[in-house]
Amino acid sequence: MIYFFTRDFRHRMRFFSSDPVKPPHLKFSKSRIAWEKAKKKLLLLPIRILRQEQAFAHAPAPDDPPPRILHGRRKGKREMRRSFFFFLQRQKSRHYLILGLEALVLPISGLAAFLPGPNIFFYTLAIVMITQWRAARGISRLLKRRGEIEFVFDPHLAAWEKAVAGRNPERCAACLNAAATAHGLGNLEKILRLKLPDAGSRVAPVAGDF
């Protein structure tokens, strides 16, 4: 699995992997129908959030090979490692803060069990919390192995970041299309929050960008 660490169109750092979005794997003990409905609700979240949470959750275990992260920032490995470390620290704090708030809401959502039908709100919140908890554990694994991470400069992501800095949507669309084709990535415009000029067609890459 390849990981990517780059800015989105709003200049916020995004972390995602080449793995497409999949519903979380859970072992059902009861109320299977409610769990399945809750998983479908989870998939309605923005794709950029789901891809990032999934990438964190699938972070390599201690015995697995270290992760390989593609980036487009013209920095040395030491600077990239430092930048990624601070990004992970912010994400870790954010995840545990949100989990704490959701833990307060979860018992209240259980009161809906007295209403007719399955308590979809409770199950959906539970699945969101499970997803975030797995992501938080993955962030901790990445932090422990930050010295082993292989950062690889990617010219397609570099062209994208340069276009983002110039705030040129057409050039951004061309660079994004080239990056998506090179790495076999789908929904890249949604992950990086770029509104394409025309949803039915994409701008061809400009010669000399890469």
**Measured distance CA(87)–CA(89) in Å, rounded:** 5
SS3 29: coil
pLDDT along the chain (210 residues), means of 10: 93 93 67 74 88 95 92 88 95 96 80 53 85 95 92 96 90 94 92 71 36
Q: Which two tokens stand for residue 163?
A: 């276009």
The predicted structure's pLDDT at residue 54: 94
**What integer pLDDT is reported at residue 206 of this predicted model?**
36
Spans of all domains in the chain: 3-153, 158-210
pLDDT value at residue 2: 92
Please give the angle made by the CA atoms of 151, 152 and 158, to the nearest 5 degrees: 115
- How far apart are the C-alpha atoms of 123 and 138, rounded to whole Å? 23
